Amino acid sequence: MKCLSLLFTLAFGLALNAQNAMKEFIINDEVVSAAIITQLETTYKVKCVPGNYWYDRMTGAFGLKGGPCTGIGVAGLNIGGALKPTASGGGTGVFINGRDLHPQDVAGFQTFMQVIPGRYWMDAYGNFGSENVAYALGNVFQLYQARFGKGEKSSYYKTHNHWSGEKTRFGGDGSFMYYSSKKTDGTTYEYFSDH
């Protein structure tokens, strides 16, 4: 159930337009080299949009520096610097993988689960637990489905039209939604939005 929408094709309003004025692709306060950008664009068939982003390698979550999560991409990419506690503004006292969550992130989680300030880990599959404790307390995807059900609001959806070759993905985790469509000519359309 891992979302495979990508970190590198973002389109979410005025904040991105301001980011587009930048010439560098910055992840966790570190400029990503042209060679790495080329490798990412070739591997994932996307365009790296210049801007200043935070990225959580454990979950694949990302967003504009100082802002909430705007999507979930590929987890485990070795790009950028270390994720800082203040990467998304924070101030909530709810930490996931060392990042103090933005108030919008906490509000998103509160739509389907109780959120208690503290320090937690989370992986790309949605499993989460208390920091420095190996066992999981739960799974955010399962909690979301228990609250909203499959196919409602913004649960995960994927199709592949075998006749035309087109592929479509739609999903979200309560704090964002995304739509991705790959056409037969190779063009990809992606849209990310906060709720």
pLDDT digits (tens, 9 = 90+) for 88-144: 999 999 999 999 999 999 998 998 899 999 999 999 999 999 999 999 999 988 888
Q: What is the mean pLDDT of the chain?
A: 76
Q: Is 109 domain-assigned?
A: yes
State how many domains the chain has: 1
Lowest mean pLDDT among 28-37, 45-54, 119-128: 45-54
- Residue 46 in any domain: the answer is yes
Confirm whether 180 is domain-assigned. Answer: yes
Residue 22: band (very low, low, confident or very high) from pLDDT cuts 50, 70, 90: low
**Which tens digits make up the pLDDT trace of 61-81?**
999 999 999 888 889 999 999
Q: Strand 157-160 to strand 51-55: parallel, antiparallel, or no bridges (unpaired)? A: unpaired
Task: Please name which of 128, 130, 132 lies closest in space to residue 142, comparing C-alpha atoms.
Answer: 128
Q: Please report the pLDDT score of residue 23 as a whole number.
A: 86
- The answer on pLDDT for 174 being more than 90 is no
Number of other residues whose CB lies within 10 A of the CB of residue 160: 11
- Res 31: pLDDT: 96
Residue 1 domain flag: no
Q: Does residue 4 lie in a domain region?
A: no
* Residue-level pLDDT at 165: 52
Would you state the pLDDT for residue 70? 85
pLDDT value at 179 more than 70:
no
Longest dimension (CA), the chain: 50
Q: What percent of the chain has pLDDT over 90?
A: 46
> Is residue 156 a part of any domain in this protein?
yes
Q: Which of 72, 20, 80 is nearest to 54 (CA)?
A: 80
Confirm whether 3 is domain-assigned.
no
Q: Give residue 77's domain range.
A: 14-194
**Structural domain includes residue 34:** yes
**Contact residues for 133 (Cβ-Cβ < 8 A; gap 6+):** none
**Cα gap 74→62, rounded to integer Å:** 10
pLDDT of 190 > 80? The answer is no
